[in-house]
A and B are shown apart, each in its own frame.
Chain A
């Protein structure tokens, strides 16, 4: 705000307050798009955790970013124990996939466990007391901080050393832009996971219970749905997806394992959920992909990596103002009859 006020007086002498770099924006348009889709798939996976919990509890689980980062730590230690290091290991494809799947499973279990624990320790006592939503929100913030700074006290402020899982190899060439196998792996794997969850929610008995609770908890309970179990299940699935996202994120950003590494990512994932329509699983995917691409555009247009974050926040504020129900609307239970 201050800079806007001061702009008039400064333009004559100083450097530009904000500069546009249209040339490199045009130059890197396609590579930005594809890379943005990769990031977007990761956002979408995390966004699922927000959107499902919101659908069932009408609660923004602020601490979900910490669920993610716990998964990332579990992944890091598993990979380190498996012998991954600062340079890519020389493994054959099957051994590599085996190791990565193992690490991902550990991360998923850790993240799922912490999500369920969180529900048990922080949120359930409040639900018992029928606490107001403000109390839930403050608890969520408190939990987010408690986990973040517990990790800080344990691991210190610096990121963990980078672990390289494999060296990305060029795969295709589209519009003169090389696409790496890493990007394809992340995008496809994330997509598959989300399709699985979507099908689970839409096709299975448990999924039907989940949708029922999202639509009307009281009636669902009368119809014999165990609400508590559905809530735990929701947190568990969200945690699993966050743990899986940890693998892809560390694959993409090897130095991303840090005590507060989940925070901004969490906000972006939440923005993605809101963009697509919070409570809507497919919306989370759409919102994630869009946000990933937009963030990358912003980054090259304004010429600084931190602009991705600003874009995420601006998109969040913008979408809430113009269309608070998001692009696809709220539909975990509500719209789908």
Chain B
């Protein structure tokens, strides 16, 4: 367990950070589950305390309100976890994820904003409804299109995202650029009678989203460790082989798509609630690529990685406001550089199962296994040779 850096074959093993990160991860994976939880608790407490602490170097003020920047990061993280199910786990490149995000936001707006003609309901109810509607949207898009692969799927999903945005622009009752004001918010007042959740106060929203994110993380984590997750990995690694081995690929791809969509919708509804205003401007293709950048940057297939990626993607423009205008340029270049030098992302994915298998192999044979293809982003033909 100590000299495990070779197990990360498939990438050139140069650079100390790789060794360090790999070692840390292996040590972490080696810990018993209870001990992992023990370590996680202070970390989670720290995460919750962040907006109150407002640490001097990390803070985004005076440029951006720090709790709101944190809310942004948290909602990006939630999105990235959802997109990671689709891109990282099942290996389906989805460029229209913003479409689901938009659908979620519009569900919240249509059902709570006074500008909408529909019956109003309490805000919290819109969260599950947004998830259900986006799941249906995911089925609607995924059902016919998931036979497509790679590039084609990417471009079709891109088209879907654009159709959603264009419909929001063209279809009268969706109010185009005018949008919906006064989207609802969760109930509750603080001791002095002020509402807890407001558009100007990010802290409570941040706590809400972090809580939801943790729940979603647990659910998705369980899913990944189940039969479904193994099927996803099989599909990601080699779809034809998976199908031949009896994995119903279409059904599991649809699963990934629908689950990813639901999380995207949830995130959209939360976003709509915090911002309090929804129009067609926030749901364009650049946003969708930003979501993808979050997943790919951190390391698609790795939950911790995508959270880190989401944090970077949302935090950098908020922290360095002078860079905000260049964020798409920066992340565009970052994607090119990343694919050329570190295609697996900053924290590459390592499937636990594969890792265990490798450990067993090493114990038995006494030397590390040579061939590894951890991730669709690493070399698919097995190494540099």
- By a beta-carbon cutoff of 8 Å, the part of chain A in contact with chain B is 1-3, 5-6, 9-10, 13-18, 59-60, 121-122, 125-126, 129-139, 141-150, 152-153, 263-264, 267, 270-271, 274, 302, 304, 306-307, 309-310, 313-314, 316-317, 320-321, 324
Cβ contact within 8 Å between B289 and A141: yes
Cβ contact within 8 Å between A313 and B332: no
Partner of A317, one of B156, B285, B340: B156
Q: Interface centre among A146, A152, A274, A304, by most B CB within 10 Å?
A: A146
Cβ contact within 8 Å between A142 and B156: no
CB distance from B244 to the nearest CB of A (A): 20
Cβ contact within 8 Å between A18 and B171: yes
Cβ contact within 8 Å between A142 and B381: no
Known contacts A5-B133, A133-B151, A145-B329; decide if A267 and B167 are in contact (CB<8 Å).
no
With a cutoff of 8 Å between Cβ atoms, the chain B residues found around residue A5 in the complex are 133
Q: Across the interface, name the chain A residue whose C-beta is closest to B284.
A: A260
User: Can you show 6 pairs from A to B with CB atoms below 8 A apart?
Assistant: A129-B379, A139-B336, A145-B328, A148-B328, A150-B329, A320-B156
Q: Interface centre among B133, B174, B336, by most A CB within 10 Å?
A: B336
Q: Mark B94-111, 1 if CB is under 8 A from A, else 0.
A: 010000000100110010
With a cutoff of 8 Å between Cβ atoms, the chain B residues found around residue A148 in the complex are 328, 332
Cβ contact within 8 Å between B332 and A145: yes
Partner of B340, one of A6, A125, A134: A125
Report the bound CA distance from A316 to B156 in whole Å. Answer: 7
Cβ contact within 8 Å between B339 and A131: yes
B162 CB–A CB distance under 8 Å: yes
CB distance from A127 to the nearest CB of B (A): 11
Q: Interface centre among A14, A134, A306, by most B CB within 10 Å?
A: A134
B78 CB–A CB distance under 8 Å: no
Q: Across the interface, name the chain A residue whose C-beta is closest to B173.
A: A14
Cβ contact within 8 Å between B166 and A306: yes
Known contacts A137-B150, A324-B148; decide if A143 and B159 are in contact (CB<8 Å).
no
Report the bound CA distance from A220 to B332 in whole Å. Answer: 34
Q: How many residues does chain B have at the interface if contact means C-beta atoms less than 8 Å apart?
A: 65
Partner of B170, one of A132, A137, A263, A307: A307
Interface members, chain B 244-283 (any A CB < 8 Å): none
CB distance from B168 to the nearest CB of A (A): 9
Known contacts A15-B172, A148-B328, A149-B328; decide if A130 and B159 are in contact (CB<8 Å).
no
Secondary structure dominating the interface of A: helix
Cβ contact within 8 Å between A10 and B160: no
Cβ contact within 8 Å between A1 and B118: no
Cβ contact within 8 Å between B343 and A135: yes
CB distance from A13 to the nearest CB of B (A): 6
Interface members, chain B 104-124 (any A CB < 8 Å): 106-107, 110, 117-119
Partner of B296, one of A1, A13, A130, A138: A138
CB distance from B286 to the nearest CB of A (A): 7
Q: Interface centre among B148, B162, B331, by most A CB within 10 Å?
A: B162
With a cutoff of 8 Å between Cβ atoms, the chain B residues found around residue A18 in the complex are 171
Q: Which stretch of B27-35, B136-144, B191-199, B206-214 is in the interface?
A: B136-144
With a cutoff of 8 Å between Cβ atoms, the chain A residues found around residue B169 in the complex are 306
Cβ contact within 8 Å between B159 and A313: yes
Report the bound CA distance from A251 to B13 in whole Å. Answer: 54
Cβ contact within 8 Å between B172 and A320: no
Report the bound CA distance from A1 to B333 in whole Å. Answer: 34
Partner of B110, one of A2, A134, A142, A316: A2
Q: Across the interface, name the chain B residue whose C-beta is closest to A139.
A: B339
Cβ contact within 8 Å between B140 and A1: yes
Q: Interface centre among B117, B170, B174, by most A CB within 10 Å?
A: B170
Known contacts A129-B384, A142-B335; decide if A313 and B162 are in contact (CB<8 Å).
yes
Cβ contact within 8 Å between B148 and A267: no
CB distance from A315 to the nearest CB of B (A): 9
With a cutoff of 8 Å between Cβ atoms, the chain A residues found around residue B93 in the complex are 134, 137-138
Cβ contact within 8 Å between A146 and B333: yes
Report the bound CA distance from A122 to B338 in whole Å. Answer: 11
Report the bound CA distance from A3 to B95 in whole Å. Answer: 22
With a cutoff of 8 Å between Cβ atoms, the chain B residues found around residue A270 in the complex are 155
B380 CB–A CB distance under 8 Å: yes
Cβ contact within 8 Å between B331 and A145: yes
B334 CB–A CB distance under 8 Å: yes
